[in-house]
Structure 1
Amino acid sequence: MVNVSRHVELSILWLVNEGECSFWYDNWLGSGALFLRVADTPHVSFAELVCNGSWNIYRLTQILPPECVANVVRLPVPRRGFPDEAVWMPTTSGKFSLASAYQEVRQVRNNSMAFSRIWQSSIPLKISFFMHRMLLRRLPLDDILGRMGFQLPSKCFCCVPATGEELEHVFSTGQLASQVWSYFQNMCGVVVQGSEVHARLITWWLSPALSRQQRFVLDVLPSLICWNIWKARNRAVFDGIQPQDQGICNMIAHDVKAAFEIRFQKELGMLTFPQFYEKISYPSYVYNIRVVR
């Protein structure tokens, strides 16, 4: 667990002038408060540690070990007429900000490729939350609820045979999911090794791209596929609407083009998905015209 108070204490540096800050409990040396290393002596102030404009070495050696005394005498002597100043060290301006405080106390972990793909501004926040829950297996599907102790009748929404509802079946291996994934994989030239949903996602995100625009589509399309499959599942379960793979593919294509138009500020018109993907798959060239006499 992160020691938040310790982080905050080291982030605030006191510049001593009047000597109004605490000699023992404020971080004015830059290495933390003195009471953390030395038993504090009550009622010690900066005023009694200065003599004739210099540090009172004799008094300092009475209350501090030699290494601490050496650190103290390297600092300027407190002077009257100027108030003490607290400096917030994590920012270049010395001013406090919540963003810098969060960076100081948060637990830094290795970047996750999966989370960096689902948490991006081009994907609506509700879809990012959905993908986060799916990757952590936190969706209210029958197999997940069963492991939590809720034993319910289970029937997959997309299969005519009595197949139980499982996360992998709904999003990857089931008949409907396989047809949807195959449609976009064939269009985009993505070859997936493995049938699990994680394998599909990673393959899409690692697939090479010919242009920056194509890279964008390969990154956002898997999340939009899973999201539209999930919406089709909910319509089937709660409204009794039988999903069709072509209808889901059309909605996914619409979502991809809408996200692309917002990201790149381009009007695409009434392009089919194959036309759209072919259009963005090659880098656009910029030509400069110069008149030569």
Structure 2
Amino acid sequence: MGISITQLGIFLTLKDIIKEKKILAISVQYPPPFSLIKKLSNKYGSLLSVADLKKLENANNQNFQNILFKDVLGAESIDSLDISGEEGATIEFNLNEDISSSNYKHLLKKYDLVFEGGTMEHISNLHMYLRNIFSLIKVNGFYLPNVPSTGQMEHGFYQFSPTFFCDLIFKNKKWLDLLFLGLDVDGSRHKGLSFDNFYEETSFSHPPSISNTYGYKFYNKRFMKSSIATGTLINLLNQSGYTTSLLSIIKKSNEGNLNFNFSQYIYRSFSLKNIVGSSNKKITDKKSFMKIRLSKKFVKLFIINFPLSSILKYRIILFIVRFMKI
């Protein structure tokens, strides 16, 4: 997938975190179109100055991430790890395998920040992949994934729901902290969603607490805070057919062994009766109109089934939520 324009913006908000640090890219991540980078600079000049834009303008696909992190963000170093060296990776390793038992075990706990622009969905052994990722990160270091969520069938093995990251972090909360989780919609053509308070067990501040002050405008413009409408907005995006991707900032606060035996938030928080209905109900029973009308789901169902395009309804609700500040 490469570095999306939104992920680029997130990197820029973390300049203070990245400066003089060791970075690892999972695969050599290609840049977004330069026209989008230029728009980002025009809109958020405090994040990407004209001088820094000039540095990126002369980059190619292979050296873009090096110029971005070393020349623009001031990182000490940047390595890249991939299954082959075809695209210029400096480290060749199959992340389906245990890196701690390999010739690269000297890389353990080396990096302050590891990022990817869409690699995890191509890895069959997710448990080993994530175990490897966190073993490469120092304590108080960060993992910044960008992975497909919807609308990208056959791109890889998986598409990820927000609950995946929230449940993973909750299960490993003694040593992992979720600092940001957001949904990028249709390549940032539409405002995305932040899941800051959507899952109570893994709530975080919006904008993220580690963002520099220049990043506040970026996060507020790019992502809608969680609200009573977030669930409906997710349903509309599912109906729309638009591509979405998940971006996250995860902090490794301590050493730990990754526990991959976790359950989904909704099943930990609600009874099955509330989710799927009573097991004693006959299949021929029909809900009366009065029961449907009084149901909490009625408004959501009405919006979802209203005869307008899903993305138009999505944008209307975003406007209403922003205007009413709900």
Smaller-chain TM-score bracket: under 0.3
RCO greater where, 1 or 2, for CA within 8 Å and sep 6 or more? 2
Structure number with bigger Rg = 1
Q: TM-score with structure 2 length normalisation?
A: 0.21
User: Which structure carries more helix by proportion?
Assistant: 1
Q: TM-score with structure 1 length normalisation?
A: 0.22
User: Which structure carries more strand by proportion?
Assistant: 2
